[in-house]
Amino acid sequence: MKNTIRSAVALMCGLAAASVTTSASAQTSVQIYGIVDSGVAHLTNVNSAGDSNTKIPSLTSSFPSRIGFRGTEDLGNGLQAFFVLENGLALDTGTAQQGGRIFGRNANVGLKGAWGTLTLGRQQNMTYISGLKTDVLGPHLFAIGSIDPYLPNARSDNAIGYMGNFGGFVVGATYSFGRDASNAGGPAATNCAGEVGGDSEACRQITGLIGYETKAWGLNASWDQLRGNTGAAGGLTSSINTDVRRTVNGYLMLGPTKLGAGVIARETNANPATGFSESNLFYFGVSHPFGPFVVDAQVARRDTKNSDNDVDMLVARVTYALSKRTFVYSAIGRMDNDGVSAVALDAGGTVGAGLAQNGVMVGLRHHF
């Protein structure tokens, strides 16, 4: 028995050594990383009766929680192979986000070199990337993602992507053969798998980006077209139905102070029950560090054309660094709904139609 145990241990040690040797000789490196972020939020007017609610959020807090695996291999002559597998976590229940996908935030493989990056698989598209450096609140619970939930969830299944940076000029594009294979519902799961015979337009998505970026300032523009198919969410129940977003975004650094602003023009041509709609979402934000503190503030307005259902948002957040990896934060916000608009301040939340909603939250975030 002892000899069997010794043999098993020796075999495992030998396999581990062989694995390390193979990894080193192939110049492959793999990183495990993630964010664990949760808080408590209190919201007013969560229904038409004007009731309040206190909860631990599901979709996000200051950042969505995640665990990821990232690897690269040097192929020589400046060429690298890479992969990214990233899972989104709902910390209130421990379940998977992005429609229940195992690796819903990213699941892709690619090549990169001086010419740029080519990516295959589920990936962030150009609408997501265009807002990264201009939205000072990012995927925060109280942010512009509450007004347009697609923005922090702008990813594409079955996609080919390209990004390149040439002396500060940035260009990128994605093409998806089937933009969203999950039928779980919500902004990250809209039941449009595509890749079907007989309709080459079904569930296709094309996004593009062009811009110029430096450390001091940057400006970019993006274009995003979603097509539908039978059973898809958002009224896009045919491949002739489209949802198009055009964005112009910019940032400016004034010393340590960051200013970010943008406009997102959306045009939806859905089925007759949903109809045609146009809107413009404007936002402006400021971020400034004070020692271990960072203060962020943002205002936003969605103007829906030919409608009184407009929305105004105001949010402020303070973050304190306990260390390089651990942060505590607090935020306050207000969402004003006009007409019969019912946009909640907190992402994924509820509000009575036409009511204003106030919110406050505190939380803790750790990076690893």
Residue 37's closest CA among 116, 92, 118, 109?
92
pLDDT higher than 80, residue 10: no
33-44 tens-digit pLDDT: 999 999 999 999
pTM recorded for the entire structure: 0.90
The answer to the question of residue 152 being in a domain is: yes
Residue pLDDT, tens place only, 15-67 = 344 444 334 445 789 999 999 999 999 999 999 999 999 999 999 999 999 99
The answer to whether residue 187 is domain-embedded is yes
Q: Is 14 part of any domain?
A: no
Pick from 42, 87, 43: nearest CA to 344: 43
Give per-residue pLDDT as tens, 80-135.
Answer: 999 999 999 999 999 999 999 999 999 999 999 999 999 999 999 999 999 999 99
Amino acid 359 reads: G
Structural domain tally of the chain?
Answer: 1
As a whole-number percent, the residues of the chain with pLDDT over 70 amount to 93
How far apart (Å, rounded) are the C-alpha atoms in residues 242 and 205? 9
Residue 250 lies in a domain: yes
Per-residue pLDDT of 122-178, as tens digits, reads 999 999 999 999 999 999 999 999 999 999 999 999 999 999 999 999 999 999 999
Task: Write out the residue range of the structural domain in which residue 322 sits.
Answer: 29-367
DSSP line for 35-62: EEEEEEEEES--STT---EEE--SS-SS
Sign of dihedral through CA atoms 326, 128, 221, 121?
positive
Structure letter (DSSP) for residue 216: S
**Residue 2 forms part of a structural domain:** no
- Residue at 15 is within a domain: no
CATH number at residue 265: 2.40.160.10
